[in-house]
Amino acid sequence: MTSPRKPYPSDVSDEEWALVAPYLTLLPEEAGQREHCLREVFNGLRYIIKTGAPWRWMPNDLPPWAAVYQQAQRWLNAGCFEELAHDLRAVLRLAVGR
């Protein structure tokens, strides 16, 4: 899904999103509980991480800071990033023959 806003340098590329989306999707898209596009929430998290800005300084064209923060907490509690890092490490090790 493309966003109508001008992209930030921290936005996830289509290739990156294809890689990380399966790890971040805790509920199916049709679950109806999602108010904001998951990719935009992830873009918001990347913005905060890349810029070091405080949560409350999230730009207005990204999802609200509280929504991004709450989803980031869900991802952290579910171990999404650890699982992604583990699988990436395994792929990279295979790529170099280890």
Predicted TM-score (pTM) of this structure: 0.84
Does residue 3 carry a pLDDT above 60? Answer: no
Site of tokens 């509280």: 66
pLDDT tens column, 11-41? 999 999 999 999 998 766 666 567 898 999 9
Does residue 82 carry a pLDDT above 90? Answer: yes
- Please tell me the predicted confidence (pLDDT) of residue 35: 85
- Please tell me the predicted confidence (pLDDT) of residue 61: 95
Q: What is the 3-state secondary structure (H, E, C) of the chain?
A: CCCCCCCCCCCCCHHHHHHHHHHHCCCCHHHCCCCCCHHHHHHHHHHHHHHCCCHHHCCCCCCCHHHHHHHHHHHHHHCHHHHHHHHHHHHHHHHCCC
Does residue 87 carry a pLDDT above 80? Answer: yes
